[in-house]
Amino acid sequence: MDREKSLGYWSVVAIGVGGMVGGGIFAVLGLAVQLTHGGAPIAFTLAGIVALITSYSYARLSVTYPSQGGTVEFLNQAFGPGIISGGLNILLWLSYIVMLSLYAYAFGSYGASFFPASSQPFMRHTFISGAIILLTLLNIKGAGIVGKAEEWIVGLKLLILLFFIGMGLWHVDLQRLAPTAWSSPLQLVAGGMIIFLAYEGFELIANTAGDVRNQSKILPLSYYSAVGFVIVLYGLISLVTVGQLSVDTIVAARDYALAESARPFMGSFGFALIAVAALLSTSSAINATLYGAARVSYIIAKEGELPEILERKVWNRPIEGLLVTSGVTLLIANYADLSSISMMGSGGFLIIFAAVNVSNAILYKKTSSRRWLSALGILVCLSALTALIWQTAIASPSKLWVLAIMLGLAFAAESIYRGITGRELKNILPKGHIQMS
């Protein structure tokens, strides 16, 4: 067997599911219920549909341009060297940092839930900072041990979540899920888009494309299977959660809502079981995303879109990119609230996914794509982004500045950096694979 083409269908699906069910559902479930009330399953489904439509463009581009760069490669192929591709690639890196912050925030919240309420704020920050620092050190030394445990962690996490669903469905109060208990249609859509980043992990499949056997068949099927499975999984998890507790109770325990929703039918054991699953899941997600984000910064720097220091390697690893990524993550995770982190991440990835759909629409002849499906992807991503911005403008207009600053920073940094240094954009991505998790 060719070692360079070693991944089959189930392996690729596992990577996609593991990327999506990494920590997002543990972090954003309470926020989703706060925004959408009894309509949380609808919100998760709407967000999943956006991801599913976008996965078509990812599948076609992955088959045509199988490389270690994934999204970075697709944008550069479509837009060429310039401010647009450079700014979008830096936005992708910043969005990874926001995802890291979300995972670290969730890790801190679930860890702190084992302590008295009076000490939880302090313990949350302790867990947040400790997780980021410890896993950064593991990545510097080589996260082989964590990497080898990743498949077991993903499997255990899914078993616990399926057990939670199987037990919880017998105790669901359907009145809590009735349409009369839903938020307004705009809030349902906006709520789904604010927690959209819970689906972003499917794009990690793009980084495996160089290692996949029979790419034209396995890659598209893997994308659709992974996203479809997670849509159903998230829908059932949110259904059980809303069916167990009142909205007020869920909002009060927003940062660890999934564990709290297990308490009515599994008692303290259920709370502890889900909390431990959350700690395992978010720590493995932090590790995998640190690994991936550091390498994304390395690839972007090698192409001339970030400072050369980030393409330097120490011990054959992109250490500078890792340290910068971890440092910024420490600040965001400790000082931004959950809704701001989620809005930044979801907004960033909706922009990136809209751009990937545009890329496939531009390259549709080379990718043998149906252009109208890419156009539909552009429409749903931009519509979702509009709903997110509209709802945020109504509920918390000051938070729009956070997204605007992140977006402006990406393009301003690229423009100023290139103007000062005069670095040329280089197409250095070989056909190969850097494993992201």
- Per DSSP, what are the bridge partners of residue 212? 7
**Residue 429 falls inside a structural domain:** no
Q: Quick check: 54 pLDDT over 80?
A: yes
Region 322-335 average pLDDT = 89
**256 in Cβ contact with 109 (< 8 Å):** yes
The pTM assigned to this predicted structure is: 0.84
**Residue 369 falls inside a structural domain:** yes
Q: Residue 120 sits in a domain of what CATH number?
A: 1.20.1740.10
pLDDT above 90: percentage of residues in the chain = 45
**Residue 379 falls inside a structural domain:** yes
Sign of the C-alpha dihedral, residues 6, 428, 310, 407?
negative
Counting the structural domains of the chain, the total is 1
pLDDT attached to residue 313? 44
pLDDT attached to residue 142? 57
pLDDT grade, residue 1 (50/70/90)? very low
pLDDT attached to residue 7? 78
- Per DSSP, what are the bridge partners of residue 182? 37
**Residue 301 falls inside a structural domain:** yes
How does the average pLDDT of the chain come out, rounded? 84
Q: Which of 297, 300, 295, 305 is nearest to 424 (CA)?
A: 305
**Residue 435 falls inside a structural domain:** no
**Residue 393 falls inside a structural domain:** yes
What are the tens digits of pLDDT across the range 82-115?
788 888 888 988 888 888 899 999 999 999 999 9
- CA separation, residue 437 to residues 100, 224, 244, 375, 388 (Å): 13, 20, 34, 31, 29
pLDDT attached to residue 178? 92
**Residue 436 falls inside a structural domain:** no
pLDDT attached to residue 314? 40
Q: Quick check: 194 pLDDT over 90?
A: no
**Residue 434 falls inside a structural domain:** no
Lowest mean pLDDT among 110-119, 307-316, 358-367, 376-385: 307-316
What are the tens digits of pLDDT across the range 137-166?
877 775 445 445 566 777 888 899 999 999
- CA separation, residue 78 to residues 73, 84, 192, 216, 354 (Å): 9, 10, 29, 20, 13
pLDDT grade, residue 420 (50/70/90)? low
Task: State which residues form the domain around 284.
Answer: 3-421
Q: Quick check: 224 pLDDT over 90?
A: yes
